[in-house]
Amino acid sequence: MVRAVAGGRNDGSVLDTAVKAGTRHFVAQRVTAILLVFLGLWFAWSIIGLDVLVHGVVVAFVAEPLNVFLLTVLTLTLAYHSYLGVQVVIEDYVHAKGIKVASLLASRLAHVLIAIALTYSIFKIGLDT
């Protein structure tokens, strides 16, 4: 049941919680999108700036400490932004409750595993060279 207190503010009811969660989700999508613009431009500029795209040159690029940090931030931001987008699609277009819950859990697991694998790969290259 949705209750409102004097002044039109919600008192912590289900509606109030859903509105806050929706706002957090909206803001998170926008913030990650802005971060991805800058990180994507940095990444594209860096790759274009390499002399040749051969294994040794790319490994040397990834092994630089600043690049390890920025690639990790890019990877984690991209995985989180993707997760948020897929979550919206599942919530909007999957109507069977069981399938929706299973899809949301599978999406979260897949995004976490991808983020872990990519972060591990970046650090492995960064620390081994």
pLDDT at 25 over 80: yes
DSSP 50: S
- The residue ranges of every structural domain in the chain are 14-128
Please give the single-letter amino acid code of residue 6.
Answer: A
Average pLDDT of the chain to the nearest whole number: 90
Q: CATH fold of 14-128, please?
A: 3 helical TM bundles of succinate and fumarate reductases (1.20.1300)
Cβ contact 58:50 at 8 Å: yes
**Neighbouring C-beta atoms of residue 71, cutoff 10 Å:** 24
- % residues pLDDT > 90 (the chain): 79
pLDDT (0 to 100) of residue 18 = 66
- Condensed to tens digits (0 to 9), the pLDDT of residues 36-67 reads 999 999 999 999 999 999 999 999 999 999 99
- Condensed to tens digits (0 to 9), the pLDDT of residues 60-71 reads 999 999 999 999
DSSP 79: H
Dihedral sign, Cα of residue 58, residue 55, residue 110, residue 123: negative
SS3 8: coil
**Alpha-carbon 113 to chain mean position:** 12
The arithmetic mean of pLDDT across residues 88-113, rounded, is 97
Q: Which two tokens stand for residue 4?
A: 């409102």
| CA angle 62–122–28, rounded 5-degree value | 110
pLDDT at 2 over 80: no
